[in-house]
Amino acid sequence: MSFTVIIPARLASTRLPDKPLADLGGKPMIVRVAERARLSGAARIIVATDHDSILAACARHGIEACLTRADHPSGTDRIAEVARALQLAPDAVVVNLQGDEPLIDPSLLAACAARIGADVPMATCAHPLDDAHDAFNPNVVKVVLDKHGRALYFSRATIPWARDAFAVNRATLPVAYSPLRHIGLYAYRNDFLQAYPALELSPLEGIEALEQLRVLWHGYPIAVHVTDAAPAPGVDTPEDLERVRRHFG
């Protein structure tokens, strides 16, 4: 399947100032992310940014980039602007790759894009959890699926709830119980991507602080690609940055 990867990259970051430009083995992080995306088989990779310094860094390394408005409320709005500027076809597939994922598995992008179809306007990814701490951690988002591999619900709570097993023990997960952790990688059909920013906010996303619940609340399906292994973590903290720097050595 042909798909375009758009990587939203804002310069501002409360925990890591100038994060997209952080040096990783001689190249800015945003360039490392784009280079991983190139390995996915994508037809095109574009960085969507709000700042000239990121635009210039991409140009120095031969990465296509597009300057966007600075006031977008989310990365989804930012990539929608770029998809419009590129005049992508309504049925074009757009993958939203976060700009702080320099170790992302490229095959995950292609697998996520492949889940888009005529009746599926949006897709994402997940992997099984085997650690009780993660299963009960509200910062680890979980998803439950229907028999077609589409999302029924996303939550910070432990879902599905193993009623009988958890009544006895919550220190370990029961045998044959593997909740799914949501991976924050998304693919969209472009016509839906353009319509998404105008969707009314849902009460569910306000309660859970999970934007993707807006899509389910409005009745649109989200297909979920389940991968066996957890992806390499992204860069959110100074400690994450040092860990990734050691990888690029």
The alpha carbon of 179 is separated from its chain's Cα centroid by a whole number of angstroms, namely: 19
Total domains in the fold of the chain = 2
pLDDT value at 15 more than 80: no
The alpha carbon of 32 is separated from its chain's Cα centroid by a whole number of angstroms, namely: 16
In this structure, the answer to whether residues 95 and 131 fall within a common structural domain is: no
pLDDT value at 249 more than 80: no
pLDDT interval class at 13 (50, 70, 90): confident
Tokens of 247: 């990888």
Residue 111 within a domain: no
**Range of lowest pLDDT (68-72, 111-115, 195-199, 242-246):** 68-72
pLDDT interval class at 75 (50, 70, 90): confident
Residue 113 within a domain: no
* Alpha helices (runs of H) in 61-162, residue ranges in sequence order: 75-85, 106-113, 132-136
If one compares 177 and 16, the residue with the highest pLDDT of the two is 177
pLDDT value at 73 more than 90: no
pLDDT interval class at 72 (50, 70, 90): confident
pLDDT value at 12 more than 90: no
Residue 153 within a domain: yes
Tokens of 109: 């992008």
Tokens of 32: 């490392």
In this structure, the answer to whether residues 45 and 69 fall within a common structural domain is: yes
Q: At 207, is the secondary structure helix, strand, or coil?
A: helix
In this structure, the answer to whether residues 213 and 124 fall within a common structural domain is: yes
Helix 106-113 to helix 29-38 angle (10° resolution) is 60
pLDDT interval class at 191 (50, 70, 90): very high
Residue 240 within a domain: no
Q: At 138, is the secondary structure helix, strand, or coil?
A: coil
Q: What is the pLDDT of residues 22-45, one digit of tens each?
A: 999 999 999 999 999 999 999 999
Residue 22 within a domain: yes
DSSP codes joined into one string, 194-225: HHGGGSPPPHHHHHHT-TTHHHHHTT--EEEE
**Rounded mean pLDDT of the chain?**
95
Q: What is the mean pLDDT of residues 137-150?
A: 97
In this structure, the answer to whether residues 126 and 91 fall within a common structural domain is: no
Residue 183 within a domain: yes
Domain that holds residue 134: 119-231
